Amino acid sequence: MPGGEPRCFPSTGSAVLLLLKNLQAPSVEAEVLVCCGAPKGSAAKADNKKNHTFVRALDTCGRIKITDPNPQWVMKTMPHARIMGDIDVEQVTESFTALMDRRKFSLVVNLTLTFFFFFFLNPTRMTSQISIIYFLLFQLIIIVSHPCHRFLTHAAGGRWQFLQRSIGISAMHMQLLNNDRVIMFDRTDFGKSNISLPDGKCRKDSTGNKVDCTAHSIEYDVLSNTFRPLMVQSNVWCSSGAVMPDGSLIQTGGFKEGDRRIRIFKSCSDCDWVEVEKGLAVTRWYATNHILPKGGQIVIGGTMQFNYEFIPKNGAPNLFSLPFLAQTSDRGVENNLYPFVFLIGDGNLFIFANNRAILFDYLNNKVVKKYPTMPGGDPRCYPSTGSAVLLPLKNLQASSVEAEVLVCGGAPKGSVAQAKKGKFVNALDTCGRIKITDPNPQWVMETMPQARVMGDMVLLPNGNVMIINGGAAGVAGWELGRNPVLNPVLYRPNDKLGSRFELQNPTTIPRMYHSTALLLRDGRVLVGGSNPHNYYNFTGVLYPTELSLEAFSPAYLNPENSSLRPKIVLPASHANLKYNQNLEVRFTVARTVALDKFSVTMVAPSFTTHSFSMNHRLLVLGSEKVIGIGNNTYAVQVTTPGSVNLAPLGYYLLFLVHQDIPSEGIWVNLQ
Ligand SMILES: *[C@@H]1O[C@H](CO)[C@@H](O)[C@H](O)[C@H]1NC(C)=O
Ligand SMILES: *[C@@H]1O[C@H](CO)[C@@H](O)[C@H](O)[C@H]1NC(C)=O
Ligand SMILES: *[C@@H]1O[C@H](CO)[C@@H](O)[C@H](O)[C@H]1NC(C)=O
Ligand SMILES: *[C@@H]1O[C@H](CO)[C@@H](O)[C@H](O)[C@H]1NC(C)=O
Ligand SMILES: *[C@@H]1O[C@H](CO)[C@@H](O)[C@H](O)[C@H]1NC(C)=O
């Protein structure tokens, strides 16, 4: 096989005989697929007692027509490297069953042979107790190393933490507030959740008939890892929102009786949702909200809505047309819902829908610029759901601040129709990156280590991007996603093109349609949700509804890095900051290496749902000079953003980053 690397135990790859067809032919063609394994010498390196080194596994498969007169290996690269994997032969059940039977057979043969070896031949004249122990040990080694039993991916890092088995609801929508509580909600008309409403309260469900005494919203307290039920009156399913400058969450729209509601949540120990009926000009379901520079929100699109409106109302009528949304709606499929919207420094909104984008002057209802269609032309928005982020904004004092957007994953054209017929097309494995402020902007395409649909993209405090959750085939919607992608992927925007992605350690819980992820103040990524069914279905379905909550800790939180991790001393938590203000940040750090490897960043917390983090942005305030002021304490002077277009009014998380390792954040209020 090309490369000459070993593929059998202990450099364990796997193999199958592919489906045998045309069985009536005089000579039946046969093909074999061999995948994974480990490079030459890996076993010795792993086994070196003084220095265990775990070499990255092979990521290639070889396929060969063994009945050809001149058989040749054809090599293909897999989405990730793997040893001790099993080949899951979908659609080739016959040969798979044969393989399983052979495995069972080989286990029986091996048991018999070793038993015979130890008890009858007994080469070393052991006592019977010792030979029994040897026999059992030998079996244990064989069972543990048997390809049926283990499945392992060597990946770069990060750790998963299981926070809650059940928060009672599926975390379909999430927003972090400035008291480190996360507001979550799912849907009010799909049965009883796993948490009761407080104080014996009940409500009539959307049909007005059935009484439901369970909650469909909760407040999760990050610091104590506890939660309490909240009460939404109307259906919040597939809605949108943003946090206002005063810290209250304003959420809009939803389904049926909830589709024109505005709901307000102001945090306190026993606060609950307050709802405004007919608060919206039109129905909003699958819309995107963006915070406005001086407070207020714009609500864009939604199912069958090719327009936008403002909250609070901006005159009457509060409805403005946006033909771009009609132009990007694929007939019968849409592929442009939950558009990716970002405010940039010149005050315009970048709006991406389906496979292309515009720069939009929302105040004058004018398209300022049209961006080229992303190469390939495949859809990236719901239900062919990809994800997107505005990459970190830097050099904030420049007269025009450069802005770049990264859009990743999605599903090839036609995938929705295919999925509805039970054919789950592989997701897109590409990202497009574009400098939206360039005079002649062009997409630069990059390939992810894995294909992904319904992923979430989260900005980390150090400016890297975590791509997490989702599947590798199918699309968004009930029962339409397949092949969960369990490994997050880290994207380092400042690295060289071609070496920006790094695979992270996998979770064990599929997070398919209706899963979410967001950045916490301590640098972890909170992960929840996954509800690919029309109800709460916990058993008897593919990918049961998930009520659990996990956190992913990127490698910067590894204990090895703790001596490099700074701790902010000043400003104090919840400090008020002005625009264009000189700000001294004081911090302590146990071990400093270079005084020029510090930066100060500010992250706006997002409203996350359906693979998009609305209002998420990161500003690099830069680092001037770090000076030591004794007692392991240092000070750095930075300048806060100069305009509300770069950083809308409101609460941000402020981090001090040292050699890519962020401090715990503090909340600041930009006023
Ligand atoms: C351990 O082994 C690896 C590869 O075999 C080698 O690169 C590394 O230098 C070794 N480390 C030590 C401390 O010997
Ligand atoms: C429902 O909640 C209970 C604990 O309150 C938990 O034991 C159970 O696993 C939850 N059910 C599901 C399906 O998550
Ligand atoms: C999910 O549960 C509901 C009601 O509990 C049931 O009607 C429905 O058939 C289930 N869905 C699937 C895909 O099994
Ligand atoms: C943190 O520590 C790990 C080693 O445990 C290292 O691989 C990683 O790159 C370090 N730094 C960051 C920024 O993650
Ligand atoms: C350093 O810390 C000690 C003990 O906490 C304190 O007494 C001293 O004043 C500090 N020195 C400076 C320069 O802050």
Is residue 168 scored above 90 in pLDDT? yes
**Range ranked top by mean pLDDT from 74-83, 94-103, 114-123:** 74-83
Tell me the average pLDDT across 28-53.
89
Ligand 3 within 6 A of 541 CB?
yes
- 158 CA → ligand 4 middle, Å: 9
| Portion of the chain with pLDDT greater than 90, in percent | 78
Burial class (CB in 10 A: 0-12, 13-18, 19+), 2: exposed
If pLDDT is split at 50, 70 and 90, which confidence band does 204 have?
confident
Q: How far is the CA of 116 from the centre of ligand 4 (A)?
A: 50
In tens, the pLDDT along 278-300 reads: 999 999 999 999 999 999 999 99
Burial of 309 (0-12, 13-18, 19+ CB in 10 A): buried
Query: Which ligand minimizes its atom distance to the CA of 633?
Result: 5
Lowest mean pLDDT among 105-119, 305-319, 488-502: 105-119
Ligand nearest the Cα of residue 549 is: 2
Cα(165)–Cα(25) distance, rounded to whole angstroms?
A: 55
Q: Which residues pair with 221 in a beta bridge?
A: 181, 226
Name every residue whose Cβ is closer than 8 Å to that of residue 282 and which is 6 or more positions away in sequence. 260, 302, 305, 307, 309, 319
Span of 99-108, 136-145, 230-239, 384-393 with lowest mean pLDDT: 99-108
Q: Which mutation among 631, 632, 633 tests ligand 5's pocket best, with the greatest number of atoms within 8 A of CB? A: 631
**Could you tell me the pLDDT band of residue 43, with boundaries at 50, 70 and 90?**
confident
547 lines ligand 2 (CB under 6 A): yes
- How high is the pLDDT of residue 307? 98
pLDDT at 625: 81
Distance 147 CA to ligand 3 centre (A): 35
Give the Å distance between the CA of 576 and the centre of ligand 2.
Answer: 41
Q: Is the CB of 537 under 6 A from ligand 2?
A: no
Nearest atom, ligand 5, residue 633 CA: 14
Residue ranges of E strands in 231-386 = 240-243, 249-252, 262-265, 274-276, 288-291, 297-300, 307-311, 320-321, 340-343, 349-353, 356-361, 366-370
In this prediction, residue 593 has a pLDDT band, given cuts at 50, 70 and 90, of: low
Which pLDDT score, from 0 to 100, does residue 315 have?
Answer: 76
Question: Residue 39 C-alpha to ligand 1 middle, in angstroms?
Answer: 16
Which one of the ligands is nearest to 597 CA? 4
387 contacts 373 by C-beta, under 8 angstroms: no
The response to whether residue 561 sits with its C-beta less than 6 Å from ligand 4 reads yes
User: Mean pLDDT across the chain, nearest whole number?
Assistant: 90
Which is nearest to 152 in space by CA: 37, 7, 43? 37
Give the pLDDT confidence of 515-548 residue by residue, as tens digits.
999 999 999 999 999 999 999 999 999 999 999 9
179 or 155, greater pLDDT = 179
Task: Note the pLDDT of residue 152.
Answer: 33
Q: Categorize the per-residue pLDDT at 135 as very low, low, confident or very high, splitting at 50, 70 and 90.
A: low
Does residue 535 have its Cβ closer than 6 Å to ligand 3?
yes
The three-class DSSP label of residue 104 is: helix
- For residues 292 and 647, the answer to whether their CB atoms sit within 8 Å is no
Name residues contacting ligand 1 (CB within 6 A). 45, 51, 53
pTM above 0.75, yes or no: yes
Distance between Cα 47 and ligand 1 center (Å):
12
* Any atom of ligand 5 within 6 Å of the Cβ of 26: no
Q: Is 65 helix (H, G, I), strand (E, B) or coil?
A: strand
User: Ligand 4 pocket: which of 558, 565, 593 to mutate (most atoms <8 Å of CB)?
Assistant: 558
Atom 9 (ligand 4) nearest CA: 555
Question: How sure is the predictor about 22, in pLDDT bands with cuts at 50, 70 and 90?
Answer: confident
Atom of ligand 1 nearest to the CA of 51: 1
Kindly tell me if the per-residue pLDDT of 124 is higher than 90. Answer: no
* Mean pLDDT (whole number) for 295-308: 97
Higher pLDDT, 84 or 288: 288
Q: What confidence tier does 206 reach under pLDDT thresholds 50, 70, 90?
A: low
* Fold of domain 159-557: Methylamine Dehydrogenase; Chain H (2.130.10)
Q: Which two tokens stand for residue 140?
A: 């244990």
DSSP structure string for 555-613: GGGSGGGGGG--EEEESPTTEEE-TT-EEEEEEE-S--S-TTSEEEEEEE--EEETTEE
- Tell which residue, 315, 407, 310, 308, has the closest CA to residue 366: 308
Q: Which atom of ligand 5 is nearest to the CA of 631?
A: 1
Instruction: Decide if pLDDT at 93 tops 60.
Output: no
Ligand closest to Cα of 588 equals 5
Please provide residue 512's backbone torsions phi and psi, each rounded to the nearest 5 degrees: -95, -140
Q: What is the pLDDT of residue 118?
A: 53
Residue 51 Cβ inside 6 Å of ligand 5? The answer reads no
Mean pLDDT score, 369-380: 98
Is the C-alpha dihedral spanning 432, 438, 442, 444 positive or negative? negative
Residue 95 pLDDT > 70: no
Q: Which residue, chain included where needed, has tokens 């499929």?
A: 333
Ligand nearest to the CA of 480: 3
Torsion sign (Cα): 22, 23, 25, 26: positive
Q: Please tell me which residue, 215 or 55, carries the higher pLDDT value.
A: 215
pLDDT confidence band for 423 (50 / 70 / 90): very high
Closest ligand relative to 461 C-alpha: 4
Question: Of how many residues is the chain composed?
Answer: 671
Please tell me the number of the ligand nearest to residue 466's CA. Answer: 4
Q: Which helix (H) or strand (E) holds 111?
A: helix 93-116
pLDDT at 170: 98
In CATH, what class is 563-670? mainly beta
Q: Which residue has the higher pLDDT, 95 or 381?
A: 381
pLDDT class for 146, splitting at 50, 70, 90?
very low
115 lines ligand 2 (CB under 6 A): no
What's the gap in Å between 14 CA and the centre of ligand 1?
28
631 lines ligand 5 (CB under 6 A): yes
Q: What is the predicted pLDDT for the residue at 85? A: 84
Q: What is the pLDDT of residue 121?
A: 55
The response to whether residue 70 sits with its C-beta less than 6 Å from ligand 5 reads no
Residue among 54, 561, 591 to mutate when testing ligand 4 (max atoms within 8 A of CB): 561
Rounded to an integer, what is the distance from CA 309 to the centroid of its chain? 29
454-481 mean pLDDT:
98
What is the pLDDT averaged over residues 253-280? 96
Portions of the chain given CATH number 2.60.40.10? 563-670
Q: Which atom of ligand 4 is nearest to the CA of 660?
A: 13
Q: Which atom of ligand 4 is nearest to the CA of 556?
A: 14
Report pLDDT digits (tens) over 602-650. Answer: 999 999 999 999 999 999 998 678 999 988 899 999 999 999 999 999 9
Q: Is the CB of 597 under 6 A from ligand 4?
A: no
For residue 531, give the ligand nearest its CA.
3
Judged against a pLDDT cut of 60, whether residue 153 lies above it is answered with: no
pLDDT value at 90 more than 70? no
Q: Mean pLDDT check: name the lowest of 142-151, 270-279, 300-309, 460-469.
A: 142-151
Of all atoms in ligand 4, which is nearest to the CA of residue 555? 14
Q: What is the pLDDT of residue 122?
A: 58
Q: Please tell me the predicted confidence (pLDDT) of residue 103.
A: 45
Residues near 4 by beta carbon (within 8 Å), at least 6 away in sequence: 40
User: 594 vs 663, which has greater pLDDT?
Assistant: 663
Tell me what pLDDT residue 471 has.
98
- CB distance 562 to 615 below 8 Å: no
Give the pLDDT mean for 144-159: 50
Atom 5, ligand 2: residue with shortest CA distance: 166
CA dihedral 379, 235, 182, 553 (to 10 degrees): -40
> If you measure from the C-alpha of residue 165 to the centroid of ligand 2, how many angstroms do you get, rounded to a whole number?
7
Q: Regarding predicted confidence, which is higher, 49 or 238? A: 238
Rounded CA-CA distance 610/171 in Å is: 11
Place 151 in a pLDDT band, splitting at 50, 70 and 90. Answer: very low
Nearest CA to ligand 1 atom 1: 51
- CB neighbour class for 508 (10 Å; exposed up to 12, middle 13-18, buried from 19): exposed
pLDDT of residue 134: 60
Over 80: is that where the pLDDT of 595 sits? no
DSSP 442: -
User: Does the C-beta of 267 come closer than 6 Å to ligand 3?
Assistant: no
Establish whether residue 422 lines the binding site of ligand 5, counting it when its CB lies within 6 angstroms of any ligand atom. Answer: no
pLDDT band at 138 (very low <50, low <70, confident <90, very high): low
pLDDT at 310 over 50: yes
Distance of CA 343 to the CA centre of its chain: 22
CA distance to 49, 84, 381, per residue, from 661 (Å): 32, 33, 33
**Mean pLDDT of the 126-135 span:** 60
pLDDT at 110 over 60: no
**Cis peptide before 383, with omega less than 30 degrees from 0?**
yes
Task: Give the number of C-alpha atoms closer than 13 A to the C-alpha of residue 217, restricted to the C-beta side.
Answer: 25
Evaluate if residue 129 carries a pLDDT over 90: no
**Boundaries of CATH 2.130.10.80 in the chain?**
159-557
Ligand 3 atom nearest to 478, measured from its CA = 13
Q: How far is the CA of 603 from the centre of ligand 4 (A)?
A: 21
CA distances from 612 to 233, 257, 278, 289, 588 (A): 25, 24, 25, 11, 35
pLDDT at 317: 87
Ligand nearest to the CA of 631: 5
